[in-house]
A and B are shown apart, each in its own frame.
Chain A
């Protein structure tokens, strides 16, 4: 039992988790109708990518990967602020968050 806990988690597990998170994000992004859920799916994709970044950074003892993650988190925070503001504006204007009904931006 203790030997099991003392084992290192293999690299592939991290990557698998990262891929699962990313794929969940993609699927949510594609199929969900609620604008906020779509938005959260994007965050999920970003975090999936972040996970693989830190994994490789740990693996190769390189700090670059972690710096990348900080950048991504920073941009994601800014994006969340802007995105949520847009969502509120959309909701005020259209009284709905269903992406299929927000389709006026076309020729």
Chain B
């Protein structure tokens, strides 16, 4: 295939938007900023679409994927290491691209309404376009290094957008926290790349897969180490245990940012990366087990915290962490297509929930506390309807999108022997918690009596309602494609895992029914606690003060990290880096150099008497010294010296 799909246009269109709005945005009229900002993701989406159509056009039987496009110029040529700047379009990156540019476009549209009164309007959209640029680079990457470029770039965009209201200290701190915690994960990614270069001599995903396929001896050992390092990177980006702590704080950013970056797209990059490098994980059962364990543990852990949060965005943040845990669980049982399926549906319903939460916050004048909401069902009918769809989807009620994808992951886990059954149990229990806390959010925000001091509550503008409705439709229909067809489509990219079919052929059906019943049960409990007996939650908290405090304080993980990592590090920086290295070594060296020069100057300046004849005398003396040095045969003089000395001693 020697034609080009112009894949490079996909990232560069948002980048152009970033440049235009970033440089000129403050001087351009608002409608032009909006046009540029919206055209960028829309055009990128169109290019993806055209690329797909032109690939599917000639039906000669052979699969057009993967389509690899490489920059004709070499990127890195160092000794034996050759790295090209290459993009790859296959089933996996195609799904991801459609999600990123599609959901990205909807959130851009929503932002037009949400950010309309903000004075940082152009800056906001330039960052958003910058994010899309890096995200599409990440998704299209044909080798680990290109992916790393996007990986770091989305981290940068995330940092900029979390700290968008940088005058607020908590927002600036949250941005820094996200950036620094992600650095730990990036360290793992970097080590993994070094090991890949050292062991495979290449970073290209397809070449690694070929080399692993040629030699079946590659199992465990170094492959496990590489996979675990990649997992560390993925855990940082996708907010998994133990690096999830940045995501709840990231809610300081504008709500559409939370929807786009911290729910739908960027945080799923870790899952995407694991799916992209799945050949490595497939060759290391141990690493896969770790992935599954981390995922299941995170899902449960974050879900329990979400039970008692009162900030609407934090509930959603913990639920995002929990759902990402599901995706890791899916990856860990090698059901990559199920994980990507859940990634896609999650992008729909979580973006929907975040945007709906944004609409609620917007109409309440910035109120995020669930305890001060309530009774919004009549006042915000559209928001209420779409949130209901989102809650049903995330809870996993048939036939909403979340049901299909979550079910696929749980079924895949169930089929993985004894340990898989344990993971399944954790997963189904988390599903119960998920249904409960989402229903709790729904009851607290929309039902009951209004507890808001805000008198006038208004529905949001159409630019915000439109994307909500589209996302609601996607959250309903997104799962209907079914895991069989979706998995078959993705199979060339992520491989097929043969499902061990148990003794009962109807087991999948039973499990599905069970999952729906569990989800309904979660909703019923929430109904009991937050509608029928609203005094119950407070009493429960009183009766179990320890458990309640543990959950409300998020297991004291931030405090633990603060005491175990941040404090010692700060102390070390203070004592060693500041006093020893900075003041002692660097300052000392500077002082020594400066002091020597000053001292030498103080002595030598005596020579500058201003007296011409003393200068003349020194000049003459210098000339005489040079003459003496040149004319006297010093070597022979020196050679004769010991002889004289010995001669004297001889007498």
Q: Measured between alpha carbons, how far is A27 from B612 in the docked complex, in Å?
A: 14
B504 near A: Cβ within 8 Å? Answer: no
B601-646 at interface with A (beta carbon < 8 Å): 605, 608-613, 616-617, 620
- What is the CB-to-nearest-CB distance from B302 to chain A, in angstroms, rounded to a whole number? 72
CB pair B612 A99 closer than 8 Å = yes
How far is it, in angstroms, between the C-alpha of A99 and the C-alpha of B608 when the chains are bound? Answer: 15
Bound-state CA distance A29–B610 (Å) is 16
CB of A100 within 8 Å of the partner chain: yes
- Taken residue by residue from 21 to 42, chain A's Cβ proximity to chain B (1 for < 8 Å, 0 otherwise) reads as 0000010011101010010000
Contact A99 B605 (CB under 8 A): no
CB neighbours (8 Å) of B609 from chain A are 103, 106
A85-107 interface code vs B (CB 8 A; 1 in, 0 out): 00000000000000110111111
Q: How far is the CA of A104 from the CA of B611 in the complex (A)?
A: 8
* Interface contact B617-A102, CB-CB below 8 Å: no
Interface centre among A33, A35, A38, A103 (most CB of B within 10 A): A103
Bound-state Cα–Cα, A26 to B613, Å: 11
Across the interface, do B616 and A30 meet the contact criterion of CB distance under 8 Å?
A: yes
- B-facing residues in A55-73 (Cβ within 8 Å): none
Q: How far is the CA of A25 from the CA of B445 in the complex (A)?
A: 104
Interface size class of A (residues with CB under 8 A): 10 to 19
**Docked complex: B376-434 residues within 8 A CB-CB of A:** none
A21 to B609, CA, bound (A): 29
Task: Compute how far the CA of A106 lies from the CA of B617 in the bound complex, rounded to whole angstroms.
Answer: 17
For residue A40, give the distance in angstroms from its CB to the closest CB of chain B.
14
CA distance A96 to B608 in the complex (A): 21
| Contact across chains for B610 and A103 when beta carbons are under 8 A apart | yes
User: Which of B608, B610, B617 has most chain A Cβ within 10 Å?
Assistant: B610
Query: Shortest distance in angstroms between B612's beta carbon and chain A's nearest beta carbon?
Result: 4
Which chain A residue shows the least CB distance to B606?
A: A107
C-alpha spacing A31/B620, complex, angstroms:
12
B536 shortest CB reach to chain A, Å: 88
Q: Indicate if the CB atoms of B616 and A106 lie closer than 8 Å.
A: no
Asked if A29 and B616 make an inter-chain contact with CB atoms under 8 angstroms apart, the answer reads: yes
Chain B residue with minimal CB distance to A29?
B616
- Inter-subunit contact B611/A103 (CB<8 Å): yes
In the docked arrangement, what's the CA distance between A103 and B613, Å?
10
Q: Are B620 and A30 in contact (CB under 8 A)?
A: yes
Cα–Cα, bound, A33→B620 (Å): 16
- Chain B contacts of A106 at CB under 8 A? 608-610
In the bound complex, CA of A3 to CA of B580 (Å): 89
A79 CA / B616 CA spacing, docked (Å) = 17
Least Cβ–Cβ distance between A93 and chain B, in angstroms: 15
Q: Provide the residues of chain B in CB contact with A26, threshold 8 Å.
A: 620
Most buried by A among B605, B609, B611: B611
Whole-angstrom distance between the Cβ of A22 and the nearest chain B Cβ? 11
Give Cα distance in the complex from A107 to B609, angstroms: 8
Q: A31 contacts which chain B residues (CB < 8 A)?
A: 613
Specify which of B605, B608, B613 is in contact with A30 (CB 8 Å cutoff). Answer: B613
Which residues of B does A touch, CB under 8 Å?
605, 608-613, 616-617, 620
**20 CB < 8 A contacts A-B:** A26-B620, A29-B616, A30-B613, A30-B616, A30-B617, A33-B613, A35-B612, A38-B616, A99-B613, A100-B611, A100-B612, A102-B612, A103-B611, A104-B610, A105-B608, A106-B608, A106-B609, A106-B610, A107-B605, A107-B608
